[in-house]
Amino acid sequence: MTLNLAKVSNVYFEKLFAVQRNESSTNSEIKAKVLLVDKFTTPIISMCYTQSQLLQNDIILIELIENQSTLNVMKHLNCIVYIKPTRESIQSLIKELNNPHFSKYQLFLNNTISKGELERLAEADEFEVINQVTEIFQDYLILNDNLFTINVSEPIANAINPVVEESNSLVSLLLSLKKCPIIKYESNSLELKRLSSEILYNINSNSNNNLFDDLNRKSDRPPLLLLLDRKNDPITPLITPWTYQSMIHEFLGIKKNIVALTESKEQVTLNESQDKFYRESMYLNYGDLTEKFQKYVEEYKKETKQSSLENLKTQNLSELKKMLTKFPEFKKLSNNILKHLNLISEIDKEISIQNLWEIGELQQTIICELDTHQAIRQKLTEILDNPKVSTTNKIKLVLLYSIRFHNTSELQNFIGKLNNPLVTDPLPTLSQIALLKKFKTLFNSNFTTSTSGQNNSNNLGNIFQNKKININSFFNQNKSNDPKTDNIYLQYTPRLNEVLNSLLTTTQSESAIAIKSSLSTLIPDAVSSQYGNNIQNEPVQDVIIYVKGGVTFEEARLVFELSESNKKINLVIGGDNVLNSEMWMKELYDRVNDSEIPGTDPATDRRKQLREIL
Domain 5-136, second-level architecture: 3-Layer(aba) Sandwich (3.40)
Q: What is the mean pLDDT of residues 521-545?
A: 84
Q: What pTM value is reported for the model?
A: 0.88
> pLDDT per residue over 551-581, tens digit each?
999 999 999 999 999 988 999 999 999 999 9
For the chain, give the mean pLDDT: 84
> pLDDT per residue over 129-147, tens digit each?
999 999 999 999 999 999 9
Which residue in 234, 240, 270 sits closest to 343, CA to CA?
270
How much is the pLDDT for 127? 95
Of 502 and 473, more confident: 502
Gap between the Cα atoms of 418 and 397, Å rounded: 12
- Alpha-carbon 393 to chain mean position: 24
Would you place residue 226 in the very low, low, confident or very high pLDDT band (cuts 50, 70, 90)? very high
Would you place residue 219 in the very low, low, confident or very high pLDDT band (cuts 50, 70, 90)? confident
How much is the pLDDT for 302? 80
Gap between the Cα atoms of 85 and 114, Å rounded: 9
Q: What is the mean pLDDT of residues 391-395?
A: 98
Range with lowest mean pLDDT among 192-206, 289-303, 589-603:
589-603
How much is the pLDDT for 299? 86
How much is the pLDDT for 612? 45
- Which CATH code, of 3.40.710.10, 3.40.630.10, 3.40.50.1910, 1.10.10.10, is assigned to 143-233+494-579? 3.40.50.1910
Percent of the chain at pLDDT exceeding 70: 81
| Sequence-ordered list of residues with C-beta below 8 angstroms from that of 233, at least 6 positions apart, any chain | 446, 447, 494, 495, 496
Q: What is the mean pLDDT of residues 362-368?
A: 97
Phi, psi of 412 (to 5 degrees): -65, -35
β pairing state of 542-548 and 570-575: parallel
Would you place residue 175 in the very low, low, confident or very high pLDDT band (cuts 50, 70, 90)? very high
Please provide the DSSP assignment of 249-315 as one string: HHHT-EETTEEE-TTT--EEE--TTT-HHHHHHTT-BHHHHHHHHHHHHHHHHHHHHHTSHHHHTTS
How much is the pLDDT for 543? 97
Cα radius of gyration rounded to whole Å, the chain: 27
Which residue in 579, 296, 281 sits closest to 270, CA to CA?
281
> pLDDT per residue over 60-118, tens digit each?
999 999 998 899 999 999 999 999 999 999 999 999 999 999 999 999 999 999 999 99
How much is the pLDDT for 480? 36
Q: What is the mean pLDDT of residues 166-188?
A: 95
How much is the pLDDT for 448? 45
Of 614 and 587, more confident: 587
Does residue 464 carry a pLDDT above 80? no
Does residue 423 carry a pLDDT above 70? yes
> pLDDT per residue over 578-599, tens digit each?
999 999 999 999 989 877 655 4
Secondary structure (3-state) at 185: strand
Please provide the DSSP assignment of 363-406 as one string: HHHHHHT-S-HHHHHHHHHHHHT-TTS-HHHHHHHHHHHHHHS-
> pLDDT per residue over 474-532, tens digit each?
433 333 344 445 689 999 999 999 999 999 887 778 888 899 999 999 999 988 888 87
Of 190 and 22, more confident: 190
Q: Are 267 and 260 in contact (CB under 8 A)?
A: yes
Q: What is the mean pLDDT of residues 255-278?
A: 93
How much is the pLDDT for 21? 45
How much is the pLDDT for 555? 98
Gap between the Cα atoms of 107 and 132, Å rounded: 6
Q: Are 396 and 388 in contact (CB under 8 A)?
A: no
Distances (CA, A) of 212 to 219, 536, 570, 585: 14, 19, 20, 40
Gap between the Cα atoms of 66 and 68, Å rounded: 5
Q: What is the mean pLDDT of residues 366-387?
A: 96
